[in-house]
Structure 1
């Protein structure tokens, strides 16, 4: 597994952990963020740029569509 793939995996795991316990940090979230920092430091500049784009896509997908009709 490349460091890029490892970071992507951690990012998805972080989203799942936060979805289970929204509204606050937890020891599990803190540990994931620490690991993500270490992996980020090991990534190349190109990998970091690609991950920034992926995180933007994930963030945009998680936002509600402002043009959608209310339920």
Structure 2
């Protein structure tokens, strides 16, 4: 798995965890964020730019589900 793919996997897992427990931090979220920080440092500038767009899209999707619930 590439670093880019690893970060995408973590990003999607974070979105799922946050959707299950909106509004609060948890040890699982903290651990995911720590791992994501480490992986982020290994990404190229182009990979980071692509992932920024994906992070924004996922944030909107999670917010929309929270509103609909």
Q: What is residue 51 of structure 1 aligned with on the other side?
A: 51
Q: What is residue 34 of structure 2 aligned with on the other side?
A: 34
TM-score w.r.t. the length of structure 1 is: 0.79
Measured in 2, the distance between the counterparts of 1:17 and 1:49 equals 23
Greater relative CO (CA pairs within 8 A, separation 6+): 2
SS of residue in 1 equivalent to 2:25? coil
SS of residue in 2 equivalent to 1:43? coil
Measured in 2, the distance between the counterparts of 1:62 and 1:50 equals 19
Q: What is residue 13 of structure 1 aligned with on the other side?
A: 13
Say what the alpha-carbon RMSD is for the aligned residues.
Answer: 1.4
Structure 1: runs of 5+ lacking an equivalent: 65-71
Give the Å deviation of 1:63: 4.8
Give the Å deviation of 1:20: 1.2
TM-score w.r.t. the length of structure 2 is: 0.81
Bigger CA radius of gyration: 1
Measured in 2, the distance between the counterparts of 1:16 and 1:27 equals 14
Aligned length: 64
